[in-house]
Structure 1
Amino acid sequence: MGSDQMDLCNGNANTFKIFVGYDPREDLAYEVCRYSILKRSTIPVEVHPIKQSDLRNRRLYWRERGPTESTEFSFSRFLTPFLANFKGWAMFVDCDFLYTTDIKELTELIDDKYAIMCVKHDYTPKESTKMDGAIQTVYPRKNWSSMVLYNCGHPKNQILTPELVNSQTGAFLHRFMWLDDNEIGSIPFVWNFLVGHNKIGESDSMSLPKAIHYTAGGPWFEAWKNCEFADLWVKEMEEYK
């Protein structure tokens, strides 16, 4: 990958590694996501884009893009443990997230008994398209893979090599079929709050989600500039710039 990602394996062992899915159409979304994490973090973190072009140049990714892949990182996200050298815990997150809270709070939820941890959404999208006209697909465990804490050294995750990620089906990867159900830990939904789907209720102790996921499309797309929490993203974007 780019030089910033190449230095990753030699980074501080105490640094929390975060890999963000990158798509050229959503460059600004990536930058704002990264900014929102770094701005609030009180622990050492490294944020790195997973860029398909860089992976292809390094011959780590070679599969052809299928019709159901709405972003360039639909499958490359599963290289996260490999990119982290199969060591420690690391996070993958889509670029269409905005963090409103210190990532330290999320790392405090980590439990070493799990191979991965994620928000276990029960989500069936109402829209037939998302973002800039991409087809909206429906499948079991949808959106579970959009924000995942990976126990990179877990024996079960050792199979996530470039060879497997380039050859396995979307169902196998996105449904975490290399794991048993009891190896998937649960994270509160406020860490992957689906705009237009999740709601903050009166019983919830916070007024804002900790991580806002503009899963159908965010304010960087004209059609979604007035979506819920658009104002927060725009404010963050202006601050970043």
Structure 2
Amino acid sequence: MSLSNGNAVKPFKIFVGYDSREDVAFEVCRYSILKKSSIPVEIIPIKQSDLRKSGLYWREKGQYESTEFSFSRFLTPYLANYEGWAMFVDCDFLYLADIKELRDLIVDEKYAIMCVQHDYAPKETTKMDGAVQTVYPRKNWSSMVLYNCGHPKNRVLTPDLVNSQTGAFLHRFQWLQDDEIGSIPFVWNFLEGHNRVVESDPSTLPRAIHYTRGGPWFEAWKNCDFADLWLNERDEYLNNEAKKAITN
């Protein structure tokens, strides 16, 4: 991590995809990161409405876009001023471990990005609140990405390119060579309903759960795997917010 103001460490920037239908998911994701982080972090929502107002996002909604940040996520290096490392993550994540552990996996500047390289083909035809479940190469790779924002290859990710390129180009990271994509252990993007914990192997315990099919904030997914963990975190978040309101 780069330094500023003498020995002060710059906060690790985490851009979280925001969808107006999943506000509570965003808040719980944010809460779970902040609660467990032992390093300074700055969490920035990627809100399509704000990006449109500022002239950074103008593409029309496609029929297969399941979230409001399906494409705007790729503005992460631009929004970070092409400086240092930053992270993008979908809002439907619950963090169970210190984000410092994830940031410390950044060991090689040769990588333009690092992510969990899933081999994932969902069985469901719909997800979340009825959105079409699409299948494509490198599915879910883009749902949590550590971006080396200053890497020369990532400078192509301008608003013009993000607003004009195809979903295949963006979600498959086609602006990069394969050896420029670093790998992260799957437990940092543990896919609910797909990945499994092996009782005899502690290394399979999730560090961050991704409710990619739909989380318990949707009625249809209220009994999904690890629903209790998310609901407990939500209740804790809401209780803390209520206490703040009384105090203020």
TM-score class normalised by the smaller sequence? over 0.9
Give the TM-score, by structure 2 length: 0.91
The 5 Å alignment of 1:194-233 reads 194-206=191-203, 208-233=205-230
Quote the Cα distance in structure 1 between the aligned partners of 2:109 and 2:28.
Answer: 30
Quote the Cα distance in structure 1 between the aligned partners of 2:128 and 2:172.
Answer: 22
- In structure 2, the partner of 1:133 is 130
Structure 1's unaligned 5+ residue stretches are 1-11
Candidates 44, 49, 54, aligned match of 1:58 = 54
Q: Does 1:117 align with 2:111?
A: no
Quote the Cα distance in structure 1 between the aligned partners of 2:213 and 2:205.
Answer: 19
Quote the Cα distance in structure 1 between the aligned partners of 2:70 and 2:201.
Answer: 32
- In structure 2, the partner of 1:6 is none
- In structure 2, the partner of 1:46 is 42
Candidates 174, 182, 195, aligned match of 2:179 = 182
Q: Does 1:85 align with 2:81?
A: yes
Quote the Cα distance in structure 2 between the aligned partners of 1:180 and 1:203.
Answer: 36
Q: Secondary structure at the match of 2:74?
A: helix
CA drift of 1:113 comes to 1.7
Query: Residues 205-224 of structure 1, C-alpha deviation per residue, up to 9 Å, x if partnerless?
Result: 25740000000000000000
Counterpart residue identity of residue 201, structure 2: D
Query: Residues 126-175 of structure 1, C-alpha deviation per residue, up to 9 Å, x if partnerless?
Result: 00000000000000000000000000000000000000000000000000
Candidates 22, 26, 44, aligned match of 1:26 = 22
CA contact (8 A) 2:215 2:222 kept: yes
- In structure 2, the partner of 1:155 is 152
Counterpart residue identity of residue 113, structure 1: K
Q: Secondary structure at the match of 2:202?
A: coil
Spell out structure 1 runs of 4+ moving beyond 2 A: none
Structure 2's unaligned 5+ residue stretches are 1-7, 239-248
Comparing 201-210 with 142-151, greater Cα deviation is found at 201-210
Corresponding pairs, count: 230
CA drift of 1:66 comes to 0.3
Give the TM-score, by structure 1 length: 0.94
Quote the Cα distance in structure 1 between the aligned partners of 2:127 and 2:209.
Answer: 16
Identity %: 78
Quote the Cα distance in structure 1 between the aligned partners of 2:42 and 2:237.
Answer: 17
Quote the Cα distance in structure 1 between the aligned partners of 2:150 and 2:28.
Answer: 30
Q: Secondary structure at the match of 2:105?
A: coil
- In structure 2, the partner of 1:235 is 232
Candidates 95, 98, 103, aligned match of 1:102 = 98
CA contact (8 A) 2:187 2:204 kept: no
Quote the Cα distance in structure 2 between the aligned partners of 1:207 and 1:85.
Answer: 35
Q: Secondary structure at the match of 1:212?
A: strand
Quote the Cα distance in structure 1 between the aligned partners of 2:201 and 2:76.
Answer: 32
**Which of 1 and 2 has greater Rg?**
2
CA contact (8 A) 2:196 2:204 kept: no
